[in-house]
């Protein structure tokens, strides 16, 4: 008859992949039961933690030590580059809700160095610079939370994007992003980012409103809250401004064309790369949606009351765990899909050549 302790260890071992359980499950169970005390009825906390961590590693890593195999290693080279390019565009193109021009410029330079290193094949240099830039994104934001809580909360997706960049560049394989995406396609993507960043930067510098003070005319502006689904109760960042409505419309049109070109180029990436790119972007999207929808009431209350309302533990847990959970579910889905497609290809090959 199975003892309660054995049953609980067996349930813990179900976290492992089925193939791993078939090979090592019995040996692991025998070892843990032999080390257990006579009156022990529950797994030791240390054993449970070791099993959980090792099981996650088995599910996410292959024998080569790279996350989810060579397809992820190749995809990470492109994902890290695109994340860094996005951060360069943001740091040089957007007016921050919290005015920190010098720090923003320093971050932009550091992310530019990451992009250059990634494009030229200096993988380790790019990864090291990305981790340094991540610290530069995270530490000041954490320090400002007490004095500027709402803008800091709505900026949390930037450290998440920086973390995605640093992790993916660290896990990237030797394949160049030029080879992963194709030279023409990657050039198109980078050109689209350059157009968007240039329009944002030129607008932020006031190039289209230089005569505003002299003429006393009206300024046409386009705020972040004008985008569909974006909730910015206070410190609404200005995306575009111009002294003429036609100029503003032309800037919006140019940005829309560049965005459409960017989306088409990404959609034409190889399926395995495109799926992994979407999974890597999911924590960033989750954080944006979570802060805009889940914390709108908190942000409005904090702004109206004039002092910071502390986040409750449940809110902090949601900010940390929800993006991570979405990523892990996405990684699991990608792996299952890859296995299904591999088995389908194997079956088709056997039908064509039964011998």
Q: What does the pLDDT look like over 146-179, one tens digit per residue?
A: 777 777 788 889 999 999 999 999 888 888 999 9
Mean local confidence (pLDDT), 102-126 = 90
Residue 206 has what pLDDT?
61
Residues ≥6 apart with Cβ < 8 Å to 40:
5
- CA dist 336 and 103 (Å) reads 43
The DSSP result for 237-294, as a single string, is -EEEEESSHHHHHHHHHHHHHHHHHHHHHHHTS-HHHHHHHHHHHHHHHHHHHIIIII
pLDDT digits (tens, 9 = 90+) for 308-344: 677 778 888 888 899 999 999 998 898 888 888 888 7
- CA dist 68 and 100 (Å) reads 39
Q: pLDDT class for 303, splitting at 50, 70, 90?
A: low
Residue 4 has what pLDDT?
78
CB 238 within 8 A of CB 96: no
Q: Which of 219-233, 240-254, 292-306 has the lowest mean pLDDT?
A: 219-233
User: Which position has the higher pLDDT, 122 or 300?
Assistant: 122
pLDDT digits (tens, 9 = 90+) for 29-82: 888 877 877 778 788 777 777 777 777 667 655 544 444 457 888 899 999 999
pTM for this predicted structure? 0.73
- pLDDT for residue 229 is more than 50: no
Give the SS3 label for residue 223. Answer: strand
- CA dist 26 and 195 (Å) reads 59
User: Which position has the higher pLDDT, 216 or 249?
Assistant: 249
CB 123 within 8 A of CB 169: yes
Residue 112 has what pLDDT?
94
Residue 207 has what pLDDT?
45
- pLDDT for residue 282 is more than 70: yes
- CA dist 336 and 333 (Å) reads 5
Mean local confidence (pLDDT), 229-239 = 49
Mean local confidence (pLDDT), 7-27 = 81
Residue 233 has what pLDDT?
41
* Residue 47 burial (C-beta neighbours within 10 Å; 0-12, 13-18, 19+): middle
Residue 274 has what pLDDT?
93
| Distances from the Cα of 334 to the Cα of 72, 78, 143, 351, angstroms | 10, 17, 37, 26
- pLDDT for residue 232 is more than 60: no
Residue 236 has what pLDDT?
47
- pLDDT for residue 114 is more than 80: yes
Residue 159 has what pLDDT?
93
Residue 210 has what pLDDT?
45
């Amino acid at each position: 008859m199975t003892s309660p302790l054995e049953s609980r260890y067996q349930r813990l071992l179900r976290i492992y992949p089925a193939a791993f359980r078939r090979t090592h499950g019995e040996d692991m169970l025998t070892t843990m039961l032999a080390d257990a005390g006579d009156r022990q009825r529950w797994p030791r906390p240390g054993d449970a933690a070791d099993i959980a961590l090792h099981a996650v590693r088995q599910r996410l890593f292959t024998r080569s030590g790279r996350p989810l195999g060579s397809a992820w290693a190749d995809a990470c080279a492109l994902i890290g580059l695109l994340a860094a390019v996005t951060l360069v565009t943001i740091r040089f193109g957007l007016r921050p809700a919290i005015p920190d021009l010098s720090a923003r410029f320093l971050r932009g330079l550091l992310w530019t160095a990451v992009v250059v290193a990634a494009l030229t094949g200096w993988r380790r240099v790019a990864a090291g610079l990305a981790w340094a830039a991540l610290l530069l994104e995270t530490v000041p934001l954490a320090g400002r939370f007490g004095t500027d809580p709402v803008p800091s909360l709505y900026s949390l997706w930037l450290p998440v994007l920086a973390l995605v960049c640093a992790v993916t560049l660290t896990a990237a394989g030797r394949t160049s992003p030029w080879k992963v995406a194709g030279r023409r396609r990657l050039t198109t993507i980078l050109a689209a980012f350059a157009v968007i960043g240039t329009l944002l930067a030129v607008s932020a510098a006031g190039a289209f409103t230089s005569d505003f003070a002299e003429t006393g005319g009206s300024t046409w502006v386009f705020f972040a809250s004008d985008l569909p689904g974006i909730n910015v109760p206070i410190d609404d960042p200005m995306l575009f401004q111009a002294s003429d409505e036609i100029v503003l419309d032309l800037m919006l049109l140019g940005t829309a064309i560049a965005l459409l070109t960017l989306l088409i180029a990404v959609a034409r990436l190889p399926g395995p790369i495109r799926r992994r790119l979407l999974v890597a972007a999911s924590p960033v999207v989750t954080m944006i949606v979570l802060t805009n929808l889940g914390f709108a009431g908190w942000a409005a209350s904090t702004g109206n009351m004039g002092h910071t309302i502390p986040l409750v533990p449940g809110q902090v847990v949601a900010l940390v765990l929800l993006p991570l959970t979405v990523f892990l579910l996405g990684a699991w889905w990608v792996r299952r899909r890859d296995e299904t497609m591999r088995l389908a290809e194997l079956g088709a090959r056997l039908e064509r050549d039964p011998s």
